[in-house]
Amino acid sequence: MSDKAGPALTVTDGSRFAVFLQANGVDWKWYNQQAARSAQLDRYVRVNPQYPRSTEDVRKKLEGEFGRASVVEWTKTPFIQIPGDAKLKGNDLYESGAIYGMDIASGFAIDVLDVRPGEKVLDLCCAPGGKLCMLADLMQRKGELVGLDASKHRAFTCASVCKKYRTASRHFKNKTDNDWDFTIIVEDGVTFSNSQQAKEIIWDTQADEVLHQKESGIETFEKRDPEAKPKQKKLNKGLKRKLEEKRLEKKKRRKADVDNLFDRVVVDAECTHDGSLKHMAKYATGGVFGQEALESKFLNADNAKYSTESNDLEQLQQGLLENGFRLLRPGGVLIYSTCSFCKTQNEDVVSWLLKKYGDQVQLDDLSRQTVGKTQAPFVNSTSLAGTLRFEPCASGTSGLFIAKLSKRS
């Protein structure tokens, strides 16, 4: 529990948001309980595997700065729990790239995917970038990793995170793998096909290689001044020509890949974000949702569900999940997740795919899933066996739904 509670939000009976929750089977009083607990939650950081010091060294250093820090036992990837009011900006470890700020429930979802070096992996909705960095670390910069987002703004946000951690670099733990191929592109996740040329590449291994061609690639983890503006390296005509040549080579290699399918796919789908309670609290006024902020941010008529008659968002989620499954190689594994508490955006979407594809798809049972030393504090779904949820009160985390699917050979 955080040493100092943050701002809490409250949903009032009869409000538009209460109507939205009730239309989606979420009791608004239960939601208020989750919101109150969320304001007290700790935060988590993930340890960069390239950092030369041990996880225990990192823990001790964080403890010295924030008063307490503990290594999480229920993730495979090292996460450290610190007070919720801990400020990472200005912290030596954070500014040097030794740790990542990341939601631990999302980290568990990536652990469950069980990605391996040398595989082809797709992150279908990659912003803001934490999952993409974790995938690259687990792959040890071996194989192919594609991140895409339909929003150019979000894709650039993702790229800025990946640039900080040199995720596109071929270097990992002072070793170089020339087979590493990393790309962030702007693309509609519902229609994306890996066999087609990307509409707009935001950042990739080729760009990283051209811009940093004279560097050793060895990460020194020196503290970076958080107030200082980063040095912007630009492509001159010669470097742009070299980049075009490298991307042309990449395009030829992709054409030679017969099926253009992926071994692992992450579909962290667009949703109403009602489970991201700390994020939603930023749009609260005096503990109660400001009507204008609520409607513009979370109940936008173009992408959200007001009632059982409106299903635009569910169609988008179905499209993302179906395309992710279509791009999955037989024998491959897919994770579907959202940060919503709504059954219509979670279990119902997964059930739709199971019904449509029948024997081609298998729902893997996560009810007893253990990836760390202990079992994670998740809640098993009561409406679709084998899927799970993280909730503030039960899990001590933000809200997240997770389903694991496999494509039968």
Kindly name the residue from 158, 162, 271, 339 that is annotated as catalytic. Answer: 339
Whether residue 56 is found in the same domain as residue 181:
no
110 and 141 belong to one structural domain: yes
One domain for residues 71 and 206: no
Kind plus residue range of the DSSP H or E element containing 112: helix 104-113
Residue by residue, DSSP assigns 283-302 as TEETTEE-HHHHHHHTS-TT
Output the pLDDT for position 305. Answer: 38
pLDDT tens for the chain, 409 residues: list them. Answer: 555 655 667 888 888 888 888 888 899 999 999 999 998 999 999 999 999 999 999 999 999 999 999 999 999 999 999 999 999 999 999 999 999 999 999 999 999 999 999 999 999 999 999 999 999 999 999 999 999 999 999 999 999 999 889 898 888 887 877 789 999 999 999 999 877 666 688 888 887 776 765 554 445 565 555 455 545 555 565 555 655 655 566 665 555 555 689 999 999 999 988 998 887 777 665 555 555 555 556 655 334 333 333 468 889 999 999 999 999 999 999 999 999 999 999 999 999 999 999 999 999 999 989 999 999 999 999 999 999 999 999 999 999 999 999 999 8
Domain termination residue (choose one: 58, 84, 103): 103
Query: Within a domain: residue 182?
Result: yes
Strand partners, 43: 82
Range of the domain at 358: 104-221+230-408
CA 76 – CA 246 distance, rounded (Å) = 36
pLDDT score recorded for residue 301? 36
Q: Is residue 131 domain-shared with residue 215, that is, in the same domain?
A: yes
Distance CA 402, CA 336 (A): 6
Residues in CB range of 122: below 8 A, 6 or more apart? 145, 146, 147, 148, 194, 262, 264, 265, 266, 324, 327
Task: Give the H/E segment covering residue 268.
Answer: strand 262-268
Cβ atoms of residues 243 and 213 within 8 Å: no
Is residue 11 assigned to a domain? Answer: no
Contact between residue 125 and residue 151 where contact means Cβ atoms under 8 Å apart: no
Specify the DSSP element, H or E, that contains 44.
strand 43-47
373's CB contacts (< 8 A; 6+ apart) are: 73, 74
SS3 letters for 321-377? HHHHHHCEEEEEEEEEEECCCCHHHCHHHHHHHHHHHHHHEEEECCCCCCCCCCCCC
Q: What is the pLDDT of residue 278?
A: 81
Show the tokens assigned to 394: 């039960």
Instruction: Clarify whether residues 157 and 115 are in a common domain.
Output: yes
Shared-domain flag, residues 126 and 34: no
Final residue belonging to a domain, choices 52, 73, 103: 103
CATH code at position 369? 3.40.50.150
Please report, in range form, the residues annotated as the binding site.
Answer: 125-131, 149, 188, 268
Residue 12 lies in a domain: no
What per-residue confidence (pLDDT) applies to 248?
Answer: 60
In a domain, 65, yes or no: yes
Cis peptide before 128 (omega within 30 of 0): yes
Check residue 218 and give its pLDDT: 44
* Contact assessment for residue 390 and residue 378, using Cβ atoms and an 8 Å cutoff: yes
- How far apart CA 100 and CA 94 sit, in angstroms, is 7
132 and 117 in one domain?
Answer: yes
Q: What is the pLDDT of residue 260?
A: 83
Same domain, 295 and 183: yes
Question: How many structural domains comprise the chain?
Answer: 2
Look at residue 310 and tell me if it is in a domain.
yes
* 158 among known catalytic residues: no
Nearest in space to 149 (alpha carbons), one of 270, 323, 303: 270
Residues that constitute the known binding site for S-adenosyl-L-methionine: 125-131, 149, 188, 268
pLDDT at 245: 56
Q: Are 8 and 39 in contact (CB under 8 A)?
A: yes
Final residue of a structural domain among 65, 81, 103: 103
The answer to the question of residue 8 being in a domain is no
